[in-house]
Amino acid sequence: MAVSERGLAGLTLPTPARAEALRELHDRWPNGEDAGAGAYDDFVDQIRRYLAGEPVEFDMPLDWSGHTAFLQEVWRITCSIPYGKTRTYAELAEAAGRPRAYRAVGQAMATNPIPLVVPCHRVLRSDGGMGGYAGGLDMKERLLEMERAASLRG
C-alpha cells in the first residue's frame, strides 16, 4: 500500500510475490517510503479479513489528491455500493450527475488507485457483463462470488 499524510493513496491487488507488488507500488509512487512494520496493522487486518470472505467496512482515510473532482466523485459513489451488490457504469454516471459519462466512469474504474477499498469490482456493464478489471476478470468474478456468498450467510 502507498500512504500519504492524508491517508491511503494506493493499493495493489494481490500478486503471487511480494516483490511484484512492491515493484508496482514503486512504479506508481516512486517517492513513497516504507511505513514500517506495524504502522498499519489494523488496516492490513481489515484487508486480510476481507480477502477471507468477511464483510468489512474499511475505515482508513483515503487520499485522492491530485485526481480530478470527477474521479473523486465517482470513487466516492463507488465506495457507497454495498458489500455483495453491484451497480452499472451508467448508474454511477447518473449518480455523479453526468448520465452520459458512463465511458468516463469506466475510465475512473480502470484508474482506481485503491482497488478493494474503492470497490470497482462491483461495477458492471449495463448488459450485466463484467466489463474490465485491473486484476483480470477471473479475480473480479471471484471477488463478486465471495461477496455474494458472504452476504447469503448473513
pLDDT tens profile 37-69: 677 889 999 999 999 999 999 999 999 999 999
pLDDT in the model for residue 36: 61
| pLDDT for residue 21 is more than 70 | yes
Mean pLDDT of 6-19: 84
Closest CA to 105 of 95, 115, 114: 95
pLDDT in the model for residue 104: 97
- DSSP letter (8 states) at residue 121: G
Catalytic residue status for 120: yes
Mean pLDDT of 111-136: 94
pLDDT in tens, 75-121: 999 999 999 999 999 999 999 999 999 999 999 999 999 999 999 99
pLDDT in the model for residue 134: 86
Domains annotated for the chain, with CATH where assigned, are 2-51 (no CATH), 69-153 (1.10.10.10)
Alpha-carbon distance values, 99 to 33, 80, 150 (Å): 39, 18, 32
pLDDT in tens, 139-152: 999 999 999 998 88
Three-class secondary structure of residue 91 per DSSP: helix
Alpha-carbon distance values, 26 to 61, 74, 130, 153 (Å): 21, 25, 29, 38
pLDDT in the model for residue 79: 97
How far is 145 from 53, CA to CA, in rounded Å? 10
Catalytic residue among 74, 109, 120, 143: 120
Contact 53/95 with Cβ under 8 angstroms? no
pTM of the model: 0.89
How far is 152 from 34, CA to CA, in rounded Å? 38
